Amino acid sequence: MGLKAVHFGGGNIGRGFVAEKLHLAGYEVVFIDVVDSIIEQLQKTKEYTVTEIGGEGEKVNKITNYRAINSKTNEADVVDEISTADLVTCAVGPNILKFIAPVIGKGIDKRTAPKPVAVIACENAIGATDTLAGFIKDSKNTPQDRLSSINDRASFANSAIDRIVPGQDPNAGLNVKIESFYEWVVDKTPFAKEGHPEVSAIKWVDDLNPYIERKLFTVNTGHAAAAYYGHARGKRTIHDALQDSDINKIVYDCLSETSHLIVKKHGISTEEQKAYVEKIVKRISNPYLEDVVERVGRAPLRKLSRKERFVGPASQLAESGDKIDALLGAIEQAFAFLDVKDDEESAELSKILKSTEAKEVVKKVCGLEESHPLFSKIVPIVQKVQETTK
């Protein structure tokens, strides 16, 4: 019997990154989603394409050997698939993990195979698999008398993923356009006993934290900073934004501050980090990605949260008294990303700013306590945005 991966999330990252790499590694992929239209398309279409875009041109991969199940209407089938799978992955968004945990828990509990299923969350969030595992191990999702033996049935490994998926053509269907560069790094320590899954696209490491923070505080920080400043100045794409010399300098200033943290904290050399920054800025500047600033900037509430791309590094730098001027500027632009079309979080942020006192906004949105050294620096930023958006 061949290798089988159950993947939650039929969106662009799911189809264009995770499923692509699993397909190339020889897995049958079983897509799980609750969006009827996506599941129906996957069920009716026997193949789709992933077009990788890079400086050297385009490469097209044809994806086949997949199935699709709607977990909303066919939960029992999903449980059965997980009970016999080699690998379970997801790319659903950090806020959705709690909703997929119950069915994954049931599938894990039904397993009788001697080798545990590997569970890897592929989300833009630190410790996403730990978060998912926490929901799965909740008494509502796993019988407590089975909890002590759950590691016999499942191994949970955190990962760091990095690949830019630009806006797609409106008539693309299941086909996905994606950048050629990617990074998929996974903690191999949970697999010490049984051995990790064979997926050539994955880089297996003993310590994931440096990779997670370097990626989040370089790629995501730079990408979002360019998006928020670009939006404020009427730019259409990230490429357009970074062609503006002022925005370009601001992005480099933000990454200079985060680089200081990364070098100091993780022992990465200054030269290596500088080269990484240059590579990242070149990537996000790619004009062929057609990366629209509103797409990159969407979900500002999540991006302003405690462990995310701005407040995460700024809080650590503030604790050691290091420079954070550029990051504070990016935080201001993120708070000003309001009422953007088709972005629920930007509308919610607007409501919060209109109805909540500045200190409470910083507590609620950024997750900071008044005693934290960053708190007093963000409060006036929020007040300024509130004044200018009255």
At 345 the pLDDT is 97
Burial of 224 by CB count in 10 Å (0-12 exposed, 13-18 middle, 19+ buried)? buried
pLDDT profile of the chain (390 residues), mean per 10: 94 97 98 97 97 87 98 98 98 96 98 96 91 97 94 96 87 94 95 94 94 93 98 97 98 98 95 96 88 95 96 98 98 98 96 97 98 98 94
Say whether 13 sits in a helix, a strand or coil: helix
For the entire predicted model, the pTM comes to: 0.82
- Rounded-to-integer distance, Cα 4 and Cα 22, Å: 9
At 1 the pLDDT is 66
At 235 the pLDDT is 98
**Sequence-distant (≥ 6) Cβ neighbours of residue 144 within 8 angstroms:** none
At 126 the pLDDT is 83
Say whether 73 sits in a helix, a strand or coil: coil
Burial of 34 by CB count in 10 Å (0-12 exposed, 13-18 middle, 19+ buried)? middle
- CB atoms inside a 10 Å sphere around CB 120: 28
At 389 the pLDDT is 87
Q: What is the pLDDT of residues 303-322, one digit of tens each?
A: 999 999 999 999 999 999 99
Burial of 335 by CB count in 10 Å (0-12 exposed, 13-18 middle, 19+ buried)? buried
Catalytic residue among 215, 235, 303, 377: 215
Q: What is the pLDDT of residues 188-240, one digit of tens each?
A: 999 999 999 999 999 999 999 899 899 999 999 999 999 999 999 999 999 99
- Rounded-to-integer distance, Cα 43 and Cα 31, Å: 10
Do residues 37 and 45 make contact, with C-beta atoms less than 8 angstroms apart? no
Measuring CA to CA, which residue among 275, 239, 251 is closest to residue 53?
Answer: 239
The DSSP secondary-structure symbol of 167 reads: P
- CB atoms inside a 10 Å sphere around CB 348: 16
Q: Is 249 a catalytic residue?
A: no
Q: How many residues does the chain have?
A: 390
- CB atoms inside a 10 Å sphere around CB 49: 17
What angle (nearest 5°) sits at the alpha carbon of residue 42, between those of residues 41 and 43? 90
Amino acid making up residue 126 = I
